[in-house]
Amino acid sequence: MLWKIVLPVLVAVFTVGSGASMVGGFRDLDPNDEGARNALNFAVVQHNRGSNDMYLSQVAEVVKAQSQVVAGLKYVITVRMAKTPCRKDGANDVCAIHEDPAQAQPYLCTFTVWSRPWLNDIRLLNETC
């Protein structure tokens, strides 16, 4: 008779406790997570290569970072990007964003990156800016 009370209580506790994240679903990440940083750096390089702008863009702010376990890790990272005074053809390693918002022209991007580190493989699956 006691199991009729205990069993539903245990089921409710495990259901509520595990409801925070679905297995195989996306989970929020700390933007300073090493995998997220590597994925974002890769995405920004690809973004700059693919843009028609003469100047490089950099991340001004990470809005949201998530990961999903697939055959590797899929990262979805939303960032606020801004333009720099550095030309693409220059040899600048570090380039700060324009301080003047009119020149920085901030814009929002979402990058989806698939990483399989054991194969040394990383791909930009989607970019929406």
Three-state secondary-structure class, residue 9: helix
| Residue 9 banded pLDDT, cuts 50, 70, 90 | very low
* Residue 50 pLDDT greater than 50, yes or no: yes
Q: Is the dihedral of CA 7, 8, 14, 18 positive or negative?
A: positive
0.95 cut: is pTM over it?
A: no
For residue 63, which amino acid is it? Answer: V
* Residue 66 pLDDT greater than 90, yes or no: yes
| Residue 81 banded pLDDT, cuts 50, 70, 90 | very high
pLDDT of residue 126: 98
Question: What are the CA-CA distances from residue 127 to residues 43, 50, 106 (Å)?
Answer: 8, 10, 16
* Residue 94 pLDDT greater than 80, yes or no: no
Half-sphere exposure of 6 (CA within 13 A, CB side): 3
- Count the residues in the chain: 129
pLDDT of residue 112: 98
Average pLDDT in the chain? 85
